[in-house]
């Protein structure tokens, strides 16, 4: 940014003074002073002024900053009324970081970068007008939700809505590779195209034949998955959005694939440069059978995808390893190799200690909870998207003989802090559902037909949540306590209920459902079985008090909803997913996602300017005891909280585990403080598996020298 009229810059200095205690106390008032100085010294003198919102919009359209089409959907007087309504809400940033992040990353600027052209109020208005698509009532509802920071669209949506020269409204994708050169070539091109538009891409390689498998009858000819991984990494490095940002991808492999050890070795620090992947992320899909074999300390067999597809006629991803394991072992036509299950478990833990990878997808857990006909086979760059996919069949001309379904992630987030003060929780969620419906209906990724095809059939989105730790701390509730788990359970139950209600309303209005609805557990009604028992109600006095102003659906309400869904269907195949919020949690001034904070005063290294300090929302003498760092918390408590939310989330939650290299005895009931071991990670993975957790994102380890391992989150995957 090359803004003029900067004059004296004191806001960075004032913000940095937060980190210098005075008489043993944190000078939190310095952040407010930095915020005021930022507006005085930076925002106000460098914002282009207009006499009215009409003059501003005309200027932005005339100079090709925003599109005219979405503006023309509304009466001019309505736009003036909406702008006045937003202004009357009297929005104010609560921290320097919030304002700085918005003006640095989201505010529209002149082509030369000298002036700001929008405030947050303007960005909110353009988002509301754009997503409401001409519906004045919806535009009003959305504007109120966003300006009160109850709803926050994902970064690509919030940033690009209404702009003339914009990127896509989504930036997260999943593609499947099948075991032939046509699919590999097409997938590499897809990765290039998606990276070019700023996408983070998840890719499954489990279908590919292993190293040494035959090709056209010649044994030992196949090179396996590692060279393909290198091709994808090079593709992401090359397609780097005009040099502005590295492309980003994750590759997934099933733990029963014969190349699993070589796959994990690519991320080791001492790996040979010929196989080492530096920027590509790694994830593994783990069937229940692996946990069983490791628990019993038994041998495990790795099965050849080539011979499985040859024998059964379907790709490796679509074999249920847990169900068919004994049959595959006994079948002489299936090529297999034997290793010790615990040896592989140790290798996984060693790599997680060293790099934070691999991500873990408990693939059977995900599929057992999946209400949709079909199979989930992988996840995305942040491990929270879990949707069914189907493979494609491609000929030598790179044409689709059978068009499969791949996935785009259409994301947004509720802010728990502010949602709990919503005058109408249900109306808030309904407006958000409508906004995300517009995103999914408007996202046509022409360059990757399988993603366009999948999106057009499923109409999926992923509404999540952030600010859980902020809310709990400000209500003097310990993160991981029974009350925090109960609160999380009820909050996500409400999100599930109201997104179902609105998806059903949209299906009724449009007379259409997602493809395959009739084969889903929604259609036969069994999805609602656990809800019609009346099980999900506040039980403790504290949680009853917290939700006293909100409608809580009773068993009869769920019965009514089940009947409506069976009659008219659902428009969206998937509705909920919790992403690892990045910048949007800063501008919303709340803790990211639903995990604990890592620091009471977070230190961030910003490009070019140095360090910025961000105090946790509502940090005070009263709340400090409840703002325990994730690194000082028993991770089983975090898993318990995520398990409560998982009960209601039809996709996944991006769960990061935070550990210290020295594990304190008081957290884990040990007799002394000791070094973290591979066994500790194995215990946590198994605990998460037994609690019904579908996925684990990074393992982040805080080392003795103050560095974090596994903290290299990429911009494409945080929303």
State the catalytic residues: 380, 382, 384
Shortest CA distance to 14 belongs to which of 47, 41, 53?
41
Q: What is the dihedral of CA 502, 506, 511, 516, to 10 degrees?
A: -70
Q: Which of 407, 257, 231, 422 is nearest to 339 (CA)?
A: 257
Tokens of 608: 């070019």
The whole-angstrom separation of Cα 247 and Cα 240 is: 5
- Phi, then psi, of 202 in degrees rounded to 5: -100, 135
Q: What does the DSSP 8-state code read for residue 719?
A: -
Q: 283 and 360 in contact (C-beta within 8 Å)?
A: yes
Q: Which residues contact 188 (CB under 8 A, 6 or more apart)?
A: 231, 232, 235
Task: Give the three-state DSSP class for 149.
Answer: coil
- For residue 163, what are the β-bridge partners? 66
Tell me if 612 sits within 8 A of 97, measured CB to CB: yes
Using the Cα atoms of residue 10, residue 14, residue 17 and residue 22 in order, give the sign of their dihedral: positive
Phi, psi torsion values for 173, nearest 5 degrees: -145, 155
Reading the block at residue 406, the tokens are 């791949």
Angle, vertex CA 353, rays to CA 348 and CA 359, nearest 5: 50
* 117 DSSP 8-state letter: -
β-pair partners for 602? 614
Instruction: Kindly report the backbone phi and psi dihedral angles of residue 300, in degrees, each rounded to the nearest multiple of 5, phi listed first.
Output: -130, 145
For 481-547, the three-class secondary structure string (H helix, E strand, C coil) is CHHHHHHHHHHHHHHHHHHHHHHHHHHHHHCCCCCCHHHCCCCCCHHHCCCCCCCCCCCCHHHHHHC
Identify the residue whose tokens are 């008219």: 568
CA–CA dist 581, 717 (Å, integer): 9
Q: Residue 646: name the closest of 491, 477, 458 by CA.
A: 491
The closest alpha carbon to 98, from 474, 585, 582, belongs to 585
Angle between helices 288-295 and 321-330 (to 10 degrees): 70
């Amino acid at each position: 940014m090359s803004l003029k009229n900067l004059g004296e810059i004191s806001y960075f200095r004032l913000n940095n003074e937060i980190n210098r205690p005075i008489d043993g106390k944190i000078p939190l008032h310095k952040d407010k002073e930095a915020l005021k100085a930022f507006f005085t010294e930076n925002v106000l003198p460098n914002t282009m002024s207009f006499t009215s919102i009409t003059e501003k919009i005309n200027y932005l359209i005339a100079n090709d900053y925003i599109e005219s089409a979405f503006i023309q959907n509304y009466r001019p007087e309505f736009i003036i009324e909406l702008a006045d309504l937003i202004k009357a809400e009297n929005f104010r940033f609560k921290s320097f970081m919030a304002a700085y992040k918005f003006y640095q990353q989201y505010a529209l600027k002149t082509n030369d970068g000298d002036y700001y052209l929008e405030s947050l109020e303007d960005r909110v208005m353009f988002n509301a007008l754009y997503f409401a698509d001409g519906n004045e009532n919806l535009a009003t509802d959305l504007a109120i939700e966003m300006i009160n920071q109850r709803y926050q669209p994902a970064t690509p949506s919030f940033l690009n809505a209404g702009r003339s020269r914009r990127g896509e409204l989504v930036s997260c994708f999943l593609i499947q590779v099948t075991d032939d050169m046509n699919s590999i070539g097409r997938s590499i091109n897809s990765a290039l195209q998606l990276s070019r538009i700023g996408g983070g891409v998840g890719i499954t390689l489990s279908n590919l034949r292993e190293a040494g498998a035959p090709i056209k009858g010649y044994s030992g000819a196949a090179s396996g998955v590692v060279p393909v991984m290198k091709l994808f990494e090079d593709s992401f490095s090359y397609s780097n959005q005009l040099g502005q940002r590295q492309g980003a991808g994750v590759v997934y492999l099933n733990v029963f694939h014969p190349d699993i050890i070589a796959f994990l070795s690519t991320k080791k620090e001492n790996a040979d440069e010929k196989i080492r992947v530096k920027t590509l992320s790694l994830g593994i899909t783990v069937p229940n059978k692996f946990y069983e074999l490791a628990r019993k300390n038994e041998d495990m067999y790795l099965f050849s995808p080539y011979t499985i597809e040859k024998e059964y006629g379907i790709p490796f991803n679509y074999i249920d390893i847990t169900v068919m394991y004994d049959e595959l072992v006994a079948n002489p036509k299936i090529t297999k190799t034997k290793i010790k299950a615990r040896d592989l478990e140790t290798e996984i833990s060693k790599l997680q200690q060293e790099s934070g990878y691999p991500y873990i997808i408990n693939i059977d857990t995900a599929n057992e909870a999946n209400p949709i006909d079909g199979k989930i086979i992988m996840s995305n760059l942040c491990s929270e998207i879990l949707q069914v996919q189907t493979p494609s069949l491609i000929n030598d001309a790179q044409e689709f003989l059978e068009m499969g379904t791949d996935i785009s992630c259409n994301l947004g987030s509720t802010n728990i802090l502010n949602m709990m003060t919503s005058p109408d929780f249900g109306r808030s969620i309904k407006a958000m559902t409508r906004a995300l419906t517009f995103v999914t209906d408007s996202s046509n990724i022409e360059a990757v037909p399988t993603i366009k095809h999948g999106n057009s059939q499923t109409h999926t989105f992923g509404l999540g949540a952030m600010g859980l730790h902020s809310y709990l701390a400000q209500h003097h509730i310990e993160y991981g306590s029974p009350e925090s788990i109960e609160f999380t359970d009820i909050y996500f139950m409400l999100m599930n209920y109201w997104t179902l209600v609105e998806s059903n309303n949209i299906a009724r209005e449009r007379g259409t459902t997602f493809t395959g609805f009739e084969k889903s557990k929604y259609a036969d009604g069994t999805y609602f079985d656990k809800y019609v028992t009346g099980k999900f109600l506040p039980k403790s006095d504290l949680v009853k008090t917290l939700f006293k102003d909100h409608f809580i659906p009773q068993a009869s309400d769920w019965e009514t909803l089940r009947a409506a869904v069976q009659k008219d269907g659902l428009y969206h195949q998937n509705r909920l997913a919790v992403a690892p919020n990045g910048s949007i949690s800063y501008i919303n001034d709340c803790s990211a996602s639903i995990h604990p904070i890592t620091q009471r005063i977070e230190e961030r290294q910003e490009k070019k300017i140095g360090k910025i300090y961000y105090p946790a929302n509502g940090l005070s003498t009263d709340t400090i005891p409840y703002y325990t760092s994730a690194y000082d918390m028993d991770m089983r408590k975090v898993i318990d909280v995520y398990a409560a939310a998982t009960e209601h989330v039809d996709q996944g939650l991006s769960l990061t585990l935070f550990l210290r290299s020295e594990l304190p005895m008081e957290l884990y009931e040990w007799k002394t403080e000791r070094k973290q071991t591979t066994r500790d990670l194995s215990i946590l993975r198994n605990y998460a598996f037994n609690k019904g957790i579908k996925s684990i994102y990074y393992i982040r380890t805080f080392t003795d020298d103050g560095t974090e391992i596994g903290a290299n989150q990429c911009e494409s995957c945080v929303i």
